Structure 1
C-alpha cells in the first residue's frame, strides 16, 4: 500500500509539471509571433522576391511551419489540461501517446524538408546530395514509425498498473525503447549539420586563399544553417537524455521542443527573406570555388527557402 501511495504521489507531481510548461510554451510562441508579425507581413506576405505568383513552395512551407507551430502549442495546452481533469481510459492514453509524437514529428519533418532544400542549394543544386539526403530522410521516418509502433504495442501493459491508481490523466511512464524515438531524427540532423559544416569550411578556406571578404545571401544561409543545425541538434539530444533520465530533469512535455523548433525556423526564414530584400541582386556574396557569380545569379534566387535553385529544382 505504501509503495502504491508513493507511486501515485510521484506520478501526480510529474503530471503537474507539463501543465505549466505547456502554457509557457504557448505564451512564448504567441509572443514571438507578435514580435515578428510585422517582418512577416513585410518580407513574406508582399515580398517582391516572389516571382512566381502569390503562392509557391517556399511560401507554403513558411506558413505551414509558422501557423502549425501555433496550432501545435494550442493542442499541447488543450490536451494536457483537459486530461488533467478526468481519468481517460487505458486505450485513450495509448492512442494519445502515439498521436502526440506524430503531430510533433510532422512539424519536425517539415522543418527537415526546408533544411534539405537549403543544403541542396548550397551544394550547387547537386542531385547526388539531394538524393542522399532524401533517402536518409525517408529512412529516418521509417525507423521513427517502427519504434512508434513497437512502443505502442507494449505501452498498455507498461502503464496498466499506473492507470489503476486514483490519479487523473495519463501517467508519465516511459515505454520500452522510447529513448530511441527521436534518435533517427537526431542522426539525420547530424548529417545535415555535417553538410553545413563542410560548406562553411570550404568557403572559409576559399576566402583565405583568395583574400576576398564578401557577404551576401550565401553567407547568411551558411551562418543560419550552422546556428540552426547546432540548436536543433542540441534540442533533440536533450530530449533523448530527458527520456532516459540522464539529466535528472522531470519530463516537462514536448511543448518547449515544439515551440523552440518552430520559432527558430520561422525566424531563420524571415531573416533570410529580409537579407534577400536588402541585398542587391548582382551581389550574391561569396560562393565556393568553381561557382561563378554569373552562374550563381542564374541558378539561385529567392524562391523557396531563400536560396533555392530554379532550373534544377528539388
Structure 2
C-alpha cells in the first residue's frame, strides 16, 4: 500500500477544516432561517412589493445557493474541471449576495437621513459603485486564479480549490469601507436624534447597526489575516462564514426595523386592529426604502418625537 506524502496529508487536513467550516456555516444559516421564518411570514409576506422587500428576499434566499454549492464542491465533486466550474459559479453568487447586503445597509442609511440629503447620497452611491467596480475586478482575478488537482487519493471524494493569488483581501478592505460609511452615517444621525428623543425605532436601528458592524468588522479582519498568511489551499475558507453572517444579519436588521415599527403603530393606533392588518400598514422609514400603498405613519428623516394629524414625523 502506498504511503501518502506529507504534502497530500496536509492538504487533506486543510480540506477537512474547510468542509467542517462550510457545514457549520450552513447549519447556522438553516437554524437562523427557521427561528426567524415566523417574523418573515408576519412582517414581510403581507407587505407590498417594493425595493426593501425585493432586497430582503434576495438576501435571504441567495444565501442558500453558494454555501450549499461549496459543500458540493468540497465533499462530493471528484472531477477537477467540474470542481472549478462549480466553484466559479458559486463564487459569483457569493459576490452577488454581498452586493445585495451592501445595498440594504446603504438604503437603511438613506432612510434614516431622509430624502432631503439626496445629493449627499448620490455622491455616496457614486463612490460605492466605484468601489464595487474595483472589487469586481479583484474578485475576477481571484476567481480566475483558482485551480484544482482533483481528488487527493483514490477512494476519496471532494476537490481542493487552490488559489494562485491572494487578491481577495482587497475586496474585504473595500467591503469594510462601504460598511464603515453606512454605519458612520447611521451613528451620526442617532447621536443627533438621542439629544431630543429616545424613540424606540431609532434605538432599534442604532443598536442593531452597531452590533452588526462589530461582528462584521471582526469577521472581515479575520478573513484578511487568513488571506495573507494561510496556505493557498485554504486562504478563502472563512469567506463562507462571512457570507452567512452578512446575510443573516442583514435579514435581521430589516426584520427588527419592521417589528419595531409595528410595535410603534400598536402604541399609536391601539390594539383594536388585527395583527395582520397592522403588519400590512407597517412600512417603516423613508418612502425610498419602504415605498407603500398604505397610509400608515411614516418617517421622513427629520425627527422622531411624535406623529401629527397628517401622519408624518416632525
TM-score calculated relative to the size of structure 2: 0.74
Q: How many residues align?
A: 273
What is the CA distance between 1:281 and its match in structure 2? 8.3
| Cα distance in 1 for residues equivalent to 2:27 and 2:198 | 39
* Structure 1 residues 96 and 309: alpha-carbon distance in aligned structure 2, compared to 1, 3 A threshold: farther
Per-residue deviation, 1:13:
0.9
Give runs of aligned pairs for residues 222-301 of structure 1, distance below 5 A. Answer: 222-245=206-229, 252-280=237-265, 300=286
Secondary structure of 1:45 counterpart: coil
2:185 is the alignment partner of 1:185: no
Q: Residue 279 of structure 1: SS of its match in structure 2?
A: helix
Instruction: Report the aligned-residue RMSD.
Output: 3.4
Could you tell me how far 1:272 is from its partner in structure 2?
0.9
Which position in structure 1 is the counterpart of 2:72? 78
Q: State the shift of 1:110 in Å.
A: 0.3
- Of the three residues 188, 198, 203, the one matched with 1:219 is 203
| Residue 130 of structure 2, aligned match among 139, 142, 158 | 139
Cα 1:114–1:21 change in 2 (3 A) is same
Query: Which residue number corresponds to residue 273 of structure 2?
Result: none
Per the TM alignment, residue 71 of structure 1 is displaced from its structure 2 partner at its CA by 2.9
Seen in structure 2, the aligned counterparts of structure 1 residues 102 and 309 have a Cα distance that, compared at 3 Å, is: farther
- Name the structure, 1 or 2, with higher relative contact order (CA <8 Å, separation 6+): 1
What is residue 200 of structure 1 aligned with on the other side? Answer: 190
Q: Which runs of 5+ in 2 are unaligned?
A: 269-282, 302-314
User: How far apart, CA to CA, are the structure 1 residues paired with 2:21 and 2:284?
Assistant: 47
Tell me how far 1:152 sits from its aligned partner.
4.7
Tell me the TM-score normalized by structure 1: 0.74
Structure 1 distance, partners of 2:202, 2:105, is 14
SS of corresponding position for 1:300:
coil
